[in-house]
Amino acid sequence: MGHKPITRDKTVALASQSDRRLAPSAAASWNDVCAEMKERYGWTPYVTSAWRDQDTEQVRIFTSRHTLGNHKGKPGYSTASYAVKTWNGQQWTLKAGMANASVPGTSPHGAGIAVDAGKDGRSFSSFTDPNRVQFLAVARAHGWTDTTGRAVSEPWHFDYEGPADKFPTTIGEKMLPLNLASANKTPVVGDAVLVLQALLTARKHYKGALDGKAGPVTRTALGAFQSAKGLKVDYLVGPVTWNRLLGIA
């Protein structure tokens, strides 16, 4: 399944690793996973790869692992079911011993909803690694899955199945402030609202439609979230409320 790539300005940095970025909802969920892992087990998951630029990094990865042409079954090439892929109208074959790589423009990494993860600076190398078992139990509760990772024999790969891959997202910091104070009378519309609704959904304060239109229901959900976090209930999404939504502070 392909995923629509997003640009860097539509991602946010992770709380535990500022050099790694994800789409806003996925980042919020990941920050929660890290916080829970630290509290329960005393260690923080390490991300070796998150969002990737599809025109540069994903192209580099794909072309380094594949050779142009259909060579499946020949010495030096993978025999996996996913070994042969089509990119730009041409077939490419995965080299033997290489990890799978998505066709540029289709990777969940490009959509900002996937991580390659592990512990202590290294990716998980086994599905039975006790640390991975601990991590997956927590991550699943926050919307992460290893279904794709298992399908391509990558114990380090995890996808976020929350709302981040179901609508267009825009960068958080650049959409601020988002003012819903009068939304009960005059709806606020836009991609920024979609992001807010998704984050409020992840925080279990919003159960409405992800429609990018903030009216009384979205406004009430925002106020309830601010109240629950001990913030001033002003229905204004500024830097403090934004960071709380992401689980950073």
More confident residue, 95 or 171: 95
The pLDDT confidence band at residue 165, using thresholds 50, 70 and 90, is very low
Q: pLDDT per residue over 122-160, tens digit each?
A: 999 999 999 999 999 999 988 899 999 999 999 999 999
Classify burial at 92, counting beta carbons within 10 Å of its beta carbon; exposed 0-12, middle 13-18, buried 19 or more.
buried
Q: What are phi and psi of 245, to 5 degrees?
A: -65, -35
Percent above pLDDT 70 for the chain: 93
CB burial class (10 A; 0-12, 13-18, 19+) of residue 76? exposed
**Nearest by Cα to 237 from 205, 207, 211, 200:** 200
Residue linked to tokens 């078992």? 133
In this structure, the strands spanning 114-119 and 46-49 are: antiparallel
List of domains in the chain: 8-53+105-165 (3.30.1380.10), 57-94 (no CATH), 172-246 (1.10.101.10)
- What angle in degrees, to the nearest 10, is found between the helix axes of 239-246 and 216-228? 80
pTM: 0.72
What is the reported pLDDT for 175?
A: 64
Does a cis peptide bond (omega within 30 degrees of 0) precede residue 177? yes
Q: With 90 as the cut, is the pLDDT of residue 120 above it?
A: yes
* 8 CB-side CA count, 13 A: 7
Average pLDDT value for residue range 71-100? 94
Average pLDDT over residues 20-30: 91
Q: How confident is the model at residue 2 (pLDDT cuts 50, 70, 90)?
A: low
pLDDT band at 166 (very low <50, low <70, confident <90, very high): very low
Q: Say if residues 235 and 241 touch (Cβ distance below 8 Å).
A: no
Among 129, 160, 58, smallest CA distance to 100 is for 58
pLDDT in tens, 186-222: 999 987 888 888 889 878 899 888 888 999 999 999 9
8 A C-beta contact, residue 148 and residue 157:
yes
Confidence of residue 163 (pLDDT cuts 50, 70, 90): low
Comparing CA positions, the residue from 48, 108, 196 lying closest to residue 208 is 196
Rounded Cα distance, 132 and 52, in Å: 23
Strand partners, 188: 214
